[in-house]
Structure 1
Amino acid sequence: MKLIIAALQMISTRDVIENLNKASKMIAEAAGNGAQVVVLPEFFAKITTSDDPYRTNHAEDFGSGVIQSYLKDIAVLHGIHIIAGSVLLNSSTANKFYNSCLVVSPDGAIIAHYDKIHLFKFNDGFQHYDESEILLAGDKIVSCDILGFNFGLAICYDLRFPELFRTLGLVDIIVLPSAFTYQTGLAHWELLIRARAVENQCYFLGVNQGGAHDTGRRTYGHSMLVDPWGEVIVSALEGEKIIYATIDSDKIRDIRTKLPAFEHRRIN
């Protein structure tokens, strides 16, 4: 069994409408080229900075709002599954939000949603990020079936925590929408993606924001799909780009049969 997946590496701005229009063109191109599943990066609809007073004005209640309506409509229009990198969702706590990955089916239903568990915090004296200033951490590990493949969901900083992916169990592919910084991406992005793929003997798709943003922020790009043996199947550089790959259930089964590492575990 095979499935064609497309990753949309974007350079999102502060402007929601501009970003949605850009995503529409890229999604149409991907669907036209045969993609059955299209994945958007983290913060695809709006990327801001910690000092932006309007950085949360696009937050929505789960299941409604401009961004979620857009995702449902475009999934129906093209008859595809969309994994929407992240959407800022309101919580029951004042001025706190969830950074959530939504999976939308071809009939416009949200069939899964994952709230980012690990919140990024970084300060090297020049750059400062602390997602906990506005975000709440999720507490549920999420996977879902898409066209017979079991997809595990994670977001960006989650990549550094192998226990999350081991707890997901034997998924076929892990999808990680991201906005990895240039500095951390250059050092660790490919290294960690390949490690997670090998550890879990599954495909791993990292879909990153891809360059210099109008906020002054720079993300690393280099979106890539790695197979269960740790080989990079396809990779982008920086810039806006669509990458395509086919995932194959036979390859997963073959590797897990020849090297049944999960059966050899001694520590639970």
Structure 2
Amino acid sequence: MKPLLNIALLQEDLAWEDPEANHRLAERYFTADSPSTDLVVLPEMFSSGFTRDFSETAPYPSLSWMKTLAAAQSCAVYGSVAVTEDQAAFNRGFWVSPDGSFEQYDKRHLFTYGKEHLTFQPGNTLLRTGLGQWTFRPLICYDLRFPVWSRNVKPYYDVLIYIASWPAVRKEAWKALLKARAIENQCYVIGVNRVGTDGYGLDYSGDSCVIDFKGDLLLDAGDQKGRFDISLSWQDLHDFRRTFPFLEDADEWMFRN
């Protein structure tokens, strides 16, 4: 049997600056009758919406909630939270394992057009993490516009993840760039966005999706609220890379901050 990765994407209209409400909102999708999953992917700043005026402090209630969810569902969970640490704020992605351990990624590319840089500090370290035989590169929203940051170099990752608060007015860019990242990196790409209207009056159309290594759309959530499940094949990905070893012809480069 081919090894499969079962993923649950959550696309919702987030409560503004209300972590407890957003935790309850997500919990509705994880009942005794829910399908089992290996990985849950939440939108950017899933606990508060994309706000510049709110952050959590240690021990970070939303991280504690993610640990509880990961343990209860026996799965990994990825989402970002606005946090303050040592008087500096970060848009921080947490990758939480079922045993409660976690890794983190601070958003590298801050959305200056939306004044994100006035509140948060940028990260400068990529995260590569694993789940079974799968490897992942988890990123956040605006990182999508900068392909060097996601470039797939040896040892190659299998799945590239973008969690986002990507406004509806730029939805076509979201769709086009996700597809491009999948093709150029010969990987699965998962994009998870929100729907609804935020506290600044920005509208979001969702369009959470999963794209395969050929650029084919495997899942499209459209503008619907809900949990969206899909299974990915590790074997199909690696068979394709062996048949079409395009990554081996990539330029060598060194990234400098």
Name which of 96, 105, 115 aligns with 2:106: 115
Aligned to 2:20: 17
- Matched with 1:125 is none
- The aligned counterpart of 2:180 is 195
Change in Cα spacing, 1:229 to 1:99, as seen in structure 2 (3 Å) is same
Q: Distance in 1 between matches of 2:109 and 2:211?
A: 22
Q: Distance in 1 between matches of 2:199 and 2:225?
A: 14
8 A Cα contact 1:27 1:38, kept in partner: no
TM-score, normalised on structure 1?
A: 0.87
> How many Å apart are 1:215 and its aligned residue?
4.6
1:139 Cα deviation from its structure 2 partner: 0.5
Q: Which amino acid in the other structure matches residue 225 of structure 1?
A: V
Residue 93 of structure 2 corresponds to which residue in structure 1? 101
Question: Counterparts in 2 of 1:36-47, with a 5 A limit?
Answer: 36-47=38-49
Q: Distance between the aligned counterparts of 1:253 and 1:76, measured in 2?
A: 30
Instruction: Please state how far the C-alpha of 1:212 moved relative to its aligned partner.
Output: 2.4
SS of match in other structure, 2:204: coil
Q: Tell me how far apart the structure 2 counterparts of residues 32 and 48 of structure 1 sit (CA, whole Å).
A: 28
**Hey, what's the Cα distance between the residues in 2 that align with 1:7 and 1:161?**
23
Aligned partner of residue 125 in structure 2, secondary structure: coil
The residue aligned with 1:59 is 56
Query: Separation in 2 of the partners of 1:216 and 1:242?
Result: 24
* Distance in 2 separating the partners of 1:117 and 1:266: 23
C-alpha distance in 2 between matches for 1:163 and 1:113: 20
2:85 corresponds to which of 78, 84, 91: 91
> After alignment, is 243-252 or 227-236 more displaced?
243-252
SS of 1:211 mapped into structure 2: strand
Displacement after TM superposition at 1:256 (Å): 0.9
Q: Is the 8 A contact 2:37 2:73 kept in 1?
A: no
Task: For residues 191-235 of structure 1, give each alpha carbon's deviation from its aligned partner in whole angstroms, at most 9, with x where no partner exists.
Answer: 000100000000000000122235522123010000000000011
> 1:79 is matched with which residue?
74
Letter in 1 for 2:110: L
Gaps of 5+ in 2: none
2: distance between equivalents of 1:48 and 1:234?
24
Q: Work out which of the residue numbers 163, 174, 177 in structure 2 matches 1:177.
A: 163
Rounded to whole Å, the distance in 2 between the matches of 1:160 and 1:48 is 18
Aligned residues: CA RMSD: 1.8
Counterparts of 1:139-218 in structure 2 under 5 Å?
A: 139-166=124-151, 169=154, 170-185=156-171, 187-213=172-198, 215-218=200-203
Unaligned runs of 5+ in 1: 123-128
Q: Say whether the 8 Å CA contact 1:7–1:38 is kept in structure 2.
A: yes
Identity of aligned residues (%): 28
Give the count of matched residue pairs: 249
User: Contact between 1:9 and 1:210, CA under 8 Å: does it hold in 2?
Assistant: yes
Which aligned segments of 4 or more residues in structure 1 are displaced greater than 3 angstroms? none
**Which stretch shows the higher mean deviation, 192-201 or 213-222?**
213-222
Per-residue CA distance 1:92-135 (angstroms, 9 max, x = gap): 3x3x311111111112221x21100000122xxxxxx1100100
Change in CA separation of 1:167 and 1:266 when aligned onto 2, cut-off 3 Å: closer
1:137 alignment partner, SS class: coil
Contact persistence 2:110–2:116 (CA under 8 A): yes
